[in-house]
Amino acid sequence: MTTATVRAAAATGTTTGSGTGTATHCPYCALQCAMTLTPEPGPAPARLSVTPRDFPTNRGGLCQKGWTSAQLLDSPERLTTPLIRDAKGGELRAAGWDEALDLVARRFAQLRGARGADSVAVFGSGGLTNEKAYALGKFARVALGTSQIDYNGRFCMSSAAAAGNKAFGLDRGLPFPVTDLDESQAVVLVGANPAETMPPLMGHFDPARLIVVDPRRTATAQAALDGGGIHLQPAPGTDLALALGLLHVALVEGYLDTPERTAYRAERTVGWEDVRQCAARWWPERTERLTGVAAADLRRAAAALARARRAHILTGRGAEQHSKGVDTVSAWIDLALALGLPGTPGSGYGCLTGQGNGQGGREHGQKADQLPGYRHIEDPAAREHIAGIWGVTPESLPGAGRSAWELLDALGTPEGPAALLVMGSNPAVSAPRARRAVERLRALDFLVVADFLRSETAELADVVLPVTMWAEESGTMTNLEGRVLRRRAAQAPPPGVRTDLEVLHGLAVRLGRSVHEFPADPAPVFDELRRASAGGTADYAGAAPELLDAGEAVYWPVRAAAGGFAREAAGGSVPEAADGFAREATGDPVRATAGGPGREAIAGSGREATSGPAPEATGDGTEALGTPRLFLDRFAHPDGRARFLPVEHRDAAELPDDEHPLYATTGRQLQHYQSGAQTRRVPELAAAAPEVYVEVHPDTARRAGLADGDTARIVSRRGAVLARTRCVASLRTDTVFLPFHFPGDGAANALTNPALDPVSRMPEFKLSAVRLERADGGAAAERKEAV
C-alpha cells in the first residue's frame, strides 16, 4: 500500500511529507479536494493528520471541513457493533453481525414472499463510492428483485441532469476541467454559493468577472461585489425568467449576431427559433417587474457575459431545487447555447455537483429509472446488456420505481414498501417536509440503516449496521468534472466495523445469491462496473485501476480499446479555439489544457465511434485520458446537435399569502455538510457553527417583534422551526433564509415543500411560504406537534 501510495503521489506531482502518508481525497463535497492522511506519532491506534495536497481542483487548499475531517474517525460516537431493536418502541441493543444480517435477510425474504418484491425498498446516496453505488443498484434489482430504489442525489442533481440530457444528450456536471474556469472572462453562477459549499473552487474565479445570481447576498455574491463583479438578486423562484430576460437583451442588443455565434447556432444546434420567441417576450422591464432585478443591471450583466471571449454559465441547487428546476436549468442552457458556449474550447455550461460522489452516484444504477453506465432501465438494449453482465435474464430485471420523495412518502402505506434499507443517507433530516418523512420511516415494518454514527435516521431503525468511514476504505469517486479518482484506505477500521460492500455481500448470500455475485472487495466490483458501463453514456471501461493508481487524469467517457484503450498523445500542444483565439502558453503545472474528445463522446453515446485517439493534453505535458472536454466536435444526440428548449416562467407551487407572507429559502453553511450528521459531531465545526439560525431583514424582524439573537418561530403549511434570529440588512424584506444542517426543532426541512418537478421529480426545497413569529409560548406546543 505504502509503495503504491508514494508512487501515485509522485505521479500526481504531490508530496506526502514523510512518505508514510496516504494520498486520498476529502470525504465531503464533489470538489473532492486532494489530501494526504498521515498517522500522527504516538501510541496506536494513531490519529490521522490531514494535509492538503496539490491537485488541479483544490491546488493545495482545504476548507475547515476538510482540515477537520479526520477528527470524526475516532469519535466516541462511532458505531462499532450492530444494533437491533427487538420491538417497536424498545431500545436499540448491541448484537453480533451474524445475528443482525440473519435478521435483516430473514425479514426481507419474508416480506418479499408475503407481499412481493416491491415491499422491500432501498435508499442510497451520492456519498457512496462508485463501487457501492453500483453494488447497491445491483443488490436491489438482483438480490431483492425490487424496483423500489432511489437515492438522495434525487434531491441534488436530478434537475440539472434532466436538463443536460435533454439539451446535450448527456449529463456530466462539468463537461470540462475545473481549471478551464481560470481563464474565463465571465462566469455566471446561478444559485450557487461555492464560497461556502466548495471554498477552494473560488480560487479558480476572478471575482471581477463573476456574475452571481442569488436572492441573498451570499459569501460568493459578496466576493463578486468586493472584487468589482456583479450580483443579481432576483426574487426566489424567478431564475428562469431572469435567464430569458438576459437572452432577450442579448437578442435585441445584437450580441447574438456575430458570425461565430450565428454559425454555431446554425451548425451545432436545433430549435433556436422557438427559443428566441420565448425570449422575445421577456423584455427587461417585464423581467424587472417579476424578478426585481433592475433592467439596467440586466443589461450590464448581459453585456459582460456576451462580450467575454470565454464565458461559463454554472448552475447550482438554488436554480435547480424547484418544481420548475428542469425548465430553469434549460433556460440557462438556452442562454449558453445562444452565446455559443457549450462545446467551445474555453467556454461552457456546467452544473456544480454537490455530494462527494454526486457525479458517479448518478451513473451506476441507484436511481429508480437507471441501469449502470447511465443507461435507462426501460431501454431493452440496456436491460439485455446489463442482464448479461449480471448473469440474469432481462425479464427478471424490474422496471422503473418511485423517485426519492415519492418512495419516502409511500413507506408503510398499503401500496408502498414495508421495509427499507438506507445506505449513506439521513432522510429524516434531509428530505423535504422532513416530519412527514420521519412519520413514514416510523410506519415501516422494518427499517435497516447502514451508517457509522447514530444519525437521526439510524435512531429510527430496527437494525443499524456499523460501517466504515472514508479513510478506512478503498474505491473510486467521480468528481464534479467527471474525473475518476482513487479513494484509498489510510487505516484499518475499528474492530466490529464492516464496509458497505461487505454488508451487501453478507445480505446477498443470505438471500440466496452466489458468493461471487456481490464481492466484498472493491477491486472486482470496479472491474464489473467497467464492463457494465462499457458502451453506455458514462463509459468507464478504460478506467483501469493501475492508471488511477498512477494518478492519471481519467475523465469519462473513457472507452476500452483493443490492447488497452484510447490514449491521447500529449506534448502540451493546444488546439486552436473554434473562434480562432489561441490559448496563452502557461507554465502552470496543474492546468489541464484543451482537447478534442468529440469522438469519445460519440462512443459514450453508444454509437459508432471513429477509431483513433482524440488529442488530450494537460499543460505540463502529461496526458489526460478519456474525455476531459465533452462536445467539442459534436453533442451526444444522434444528429450531433444540441437542443434549444423553449421554456416559460411559471409560479412556484406555493406563493406567499396573508397567512404565510414570506418566502423561505434554504441552503448551506461552510462548516456543515448535508444533514450535518457528520460535521455537527466535529467539535471545531460545531463550535464555529453551533446552531440553526434564520436570516431576516431587520425590518421584517422588527415587524415580527424580533431582535437580533432572539429565538424565532418560522411556520409553513407543513411544520415549524425554531431558530436564532440573525438580522441581515442585505436580505430582501420578503425573504428569510435557513441552513438545513440541523435536526429536531431546528430542521429547516420541516418547512419545505415536496411539490415535485414534473420531469426530474426534484422537490421544491428552495421556496416555501412561511410566517415569522416570536417563539415565546409557541415553542412547547410546537414540540408536541413535532413528535
Partner 1 sequence: MSRALNVVVVGNGMVGARLYEETLRRDQTSRRVRMTVLGAEPVGGYNRVLLPGLLSGSLTEADLTPEASGETPLATGTTVTAIDRAARTVRTADGRQLPYDRLVLATGAATAVPPLPGLRDETDGGGGVLARGVTALRTLADARRLRRLADRARAVGARIAVLGGGVLGLEAARALVARGVAVTVVHPAPHVMDRQLDAPAGRVLGRALRRTGIEQRLGVMAVRWEPGKGLHLDDGSVLAAAGLLLCTGARPETGLAEECGLKTSPAGIAVDDTLTTSDPDIYALGDCADAEPGLVQPGWEQAAVLAGRLTGEDPYARYLGSPRVTRLKAAGIELACLGDPFVADDGFAGHAPAGGAGPAQGGLGEGDFPDDGGPEVLRLEDPARERYAKLVLHGDRVTGAILLGVPDAAAGLVQLYDKGAPAPSDRLALMLGRALPPESAGEAGEALPDHAMVCRCNSVTKGALRSAWYDGARSARELADATRATTGCGGCRGAVEKIAAWLAETDPLSSRDTPATTAPR
Could you list the beta-strand ranges (E) of 153-223. 186-190, 210-213
- Euclidean distance between CA atoms 383 and 779, whole angstroms: 53
Interaction between residue 223 and partner 1 (CB under 8 A): yes
Site residues for partner 1, 534-593, by CB under 8 A, read none
- Asked if 702 is part of the footprint of partner 1 (rule: CB under 8 A), the reply reads yes
Q: Determine the interface stretch with partner 1 among 1-9, 476-484, 590-598, 727-735 (rule: CB under 8 A).
A: 727-735
CB 83 within 8 A of CB 463: yes
The length of the chain is 787
Residue 619 C-beta: closest distance to partner 1, Å: 20
Can residue 730 be called a binding residue for partner 1 (CB under 8 A)? yes
370-371 vs 230-232, strand pairing mode: unpaired
Q: Shortest approach of partner 1 to residue 699 CB, angstroms?
A: 5
Instruction: Tell me: does residue 316 bind partner 1 (CB under 8 A).
Output: no
Site for partner 1 in 179-198 (CB under 8 A): 195-196
Q: Which is nearer to partner 1, 384 or 651 (CB)?
A: 651
Exactly one of 283, 303, 389, 588 binds partner 1 (CB under 8 A); that residue is 283
Binding partner 1 by CB under 8 A: which of 699, 708, 776, 785? 699
Return the C-alpha cell found at 642.
444540441
Span interacting with partner 1, options 290-298, 417-425, 439-447, 505-513, rule CB under 8 A: 290-298
Nearest to 360 by CA among 121, 172, 503: 172
- Should residue 293 be labelled a site residue for partner 1 when binding is judged by CB under 8 A? yes
User: Which is nearer to partner 1, 61 or 354 (by Cβ)?
Assistant: 61
Q: Which is nearer to partner 1, 215 or 398 (CB)?
A: 215
Residue 667 interacts with partner 1 (CB under 8 A)?
A: no
Among 573, 585, 733, 783, contact with partner 1 (rule: CB under 8 A)? 733
| Cα–Cα distance for residue pair 361/748, rounded to 1 Å | 25
Q: Which of these segments, 222-230, 348-356, 498-506, 566-574, binds partner 1 (CB under 8 A)?
A: 222-230
* Site for partner 1 contains 739 (CB under 8 A): no
Give the number of other CB atoms < 10 A from CB of residue 79: 24
Cα gap 745→525, rounded to integer Å? 41
Report CA 607 to chain centroid distance, whole Å: 28
- Minimum CB separation from partner 1 for residue 779, in Å? 26
Kind and range of the H or E run holding 377 = none
**Measured distance CA(328)–CA(175) in Å, rounded:** 19
Q: Choose the stretch contacting partner 1; rule: CB under 8 A; options: 146-154, 271-279, 511-519, 562-570.
A: 271-279
Q: How far is CA 40 from the centre of its chain?
A: 32
> What are the cell numbers at 238?
424567478
Cα–Cα distances (Å) from 417 to 11, 413, 433, 519, 545, in that order, read: 48, 7, 19, 27, 38
Q: For partner 1, which is the closer residue by CB, 252 or 561?
A: 252
Is residue 47 a contact point for partner 1 (CB under 8 A)? no
CB of 613 to partner 1, least distance (A): 35
Position among 1, 94, 266, 280 found at the interface with partner 1 (CB under 8 A) = 280
β partners of residue 722? 713
Which CB, 214 or 539, lies closer to partner 1?
214
* Residue 222 near partner 1 by CB under 8 A: yes
Residue type for 214, please? D
Q: Which of 29, 219, 538, 712 binds partner 1 (CB under 8 A)?
A: 219
Q: At 712, phi and psi to the nearest 5? A: -105, 155
What's the rounded Cα separation, in Å, for the pair 342 and 329?
14
Contacts of residue 702, defined as CB under 8 A and 6 or more positions apart, other chains included, come to: none
Helix, strand, or coil (residue 395): helix
Q: Which three cell numbers stand for residue 388?
A: 448479461
Q: How many residues bind partner 1 (CB under 8 A)?
A: 58
Distance separating alpha carbons of residues 725 and 239, to the nearest angstrom: 27
Q: Supply φ then ψ for residue 123, to 5 degrees.
A: -125, 115
393/733 with CB nearer partner 1: 733
The residue behind cell 471575482 is: 207
Quickly tell me which residue has 463578486 as its cell. 224
- CA-wise closest residue to 757 among 166, 28, 126: 166
Contact between 698 and partner 1 by CB under 8 A: the answer reads yes
> Is 304 an interacting residue with respect to partner 1 (CB under 8 A)?
no
Element (H, E) at 301: helix 295-307
Among 56, 126, 177, 199, which residue sits at the site for partner 1 (rule: CB under 8 A)? 199
265 lies in the binding site for partner 1 (CB under 8 A): no
**Nearest CB to partner 1, comparing residues 193 and 474:** 193
**Of positions 192, 235, 397, 770, contacts partner 1 by CB under 8 A:** 235
Interface residue with partner 1, options 10, 252, 303, 389 (CB under 8 A): 252
Instruction: Give strand pairing partners of 478.
Output: 484
User: Do the Cβ atoms of 193 and 219 come closer than 8 Å?
Assistant: yes
DSSP state of 177: -
With binding defined as CB under 8 A, does residue 734 bind partner 1?
Answer: yes
Integer Cα distance of 232 and 253 in angstroms? 19
Span near partner 1 by CB under 8 A; candidates 13-21, 38-46, 185-193, 219-227: 219-227
Give the nearest distance from C-beta 702 to partner 1 in angstroms. Answer: 8
The CB-of-654 to partner 1 minimum distance in angstroms stands at 15
Which candidate, 597, 484, 603, places its Cα nearest to that of 545? Answer: 484
Does residue 229 interact with partner 1 by CB under 8 A? Answer: no
DSSP 262-293: HHHHHHHEE-HHHHHHHHHT--HHHHHHHH--
Question: Which residue, 410 or 688, is less far from partner 1 as judged by CB?
Answer: 688
Query: How many Å apart are CA 1 and CA 20, to the nearest integer?
Result: 10
Least spacing, CB of residue 580 vs partner 1, in Å: 25
DSSP string for 6-65: HHHHHHTT---TTTT-EEEE-SSSTT--EEEEEEPSSSSSPPEEEEE---TTTTT---HH
Q: How far is the CB of 670 from partner 1 (least distance, A)?
A: 6
Answer for which of 271, 292, 524, 575 binds partner 1 (CB under 8 A) is 292
96-115 residues in contact with partner 1 (CB under 8 A) are: none
Residue 281 touching partner 1 (CB under 8 A)? yes
**Binding of partner 1 at residue 286 (CB under 8 A)?**
yes
Q: Which residues bind to partner 1, rule: CB under 8 A?
A: 52, 59-64, 67, 195-196, 199-203, 207, 219, 222-223, 226, 235, 251-254, 257, 273, 276-277, 280-281, 283-286, 288-289, 292-297, 656, 661, 670-671, 688-689, 697-699, 702-703, 729-730, 733-734
